Amino acid sequence: MHILFIGDVIGKPGREVLTAELPALRENLKLDFVIVNGENLAGGFGVTRNIANEMFALGVDCITTGNHWLDQREILTFIGDEDRVLRPCNLPPGTPGRGANLFQAKNGAHVLVINPLGRVFMEPQDDPFAAVERELAACPLGEGADAVVVDMHAEATSEKMAMGHFCDGRASLVVGSHSHVPTADAQILPGGTAYQTDAGACADYDSVIGMEKFEPVQRFTRKIPGGRFSPATGPATLCGVFVETAANGFAERIEPVRVGGRLKQTMPAV
């Protein structure tokens, strides 16, 4: 199976590069399943129903989120019955929506997607490791699911790496999101799980993690907020992770994907 995970899509520039590049990626990489982290889709903060539908029309199969999942309160009007949009799986009981779901891929295989939220340097939530353990136990790789993907939305690289090893041998891919910068550690762990600490973002990289430079720089240098963050509007780079799995659901191959914009381009050959 061929799976593409696309990192945090930052506002309109991120949506535009996704619109421009995803159709060709689907064809050239022979993709069976596409996941997009969409917590920054709407102006850099949250996701709306209309934008989610735009993503699905492009061929996105699942939208994961993170700590900004509730920034657009509109999400509460549709996340309860739109099971293609996930919110973090380790939020308190009774939170609307779901943090994991089993999907049917284009090739008929079943893909479990789990969306934990880290706790280090972030607002603490329930234990993400315990939440992931529950989902893996309920739908094991090779039994309930043909592939398992974990989007570990977290600040600390150590917490993301720990989740990778925690899931090794039980997931097809553990990939980090939230940092908005693609890491150079794509690998297959000893138990057969593909791993990358952060997929990066779909954003203009002449920026501070996808946002216009002035306001973040002012906050760092003067410690005085001057306004809201807004997405940088230059040409964006689509950043993601491509994984090929074997019949047993474990990874045979993991490669980064970067197309468009300023970053060095890299595209797997299929």
Active-site residue list = 68
Q: What angle do CA 49, 209, 129 make, to 5 degrees?
A: 70
Contact 231, 199 (CB under 8 A): no
What 8-state DSSP symbol labels residue 19? H
Q: How far apart are CA 169 and CA 194, in angstroms?
A: 10
Query: Given its phi and psi angles, is residue 200 left (phi above 0), alpha (psi -120 to 50 degrees) or beta?
Result: left
Contact 8, 202 (CB under 8 A): yes
Per DSSP, the residues of 196-241 read ES---EEB-SSSBTTB-SHHHHHHHHH----S---B--S--BEEEE
List, in order, residues 6 or more apart from 239 with CB less than 8 Å away. 6, 7, 182, 199, 200, 201, 202, 256, 257, 258, 263
Which amino acid type is present at position 125? Q
Q: How far apart are CA 119 and CA 160, in angstroms?
A: 10
Cβ of 83: how many Cβ atoms within 10 Å?
13
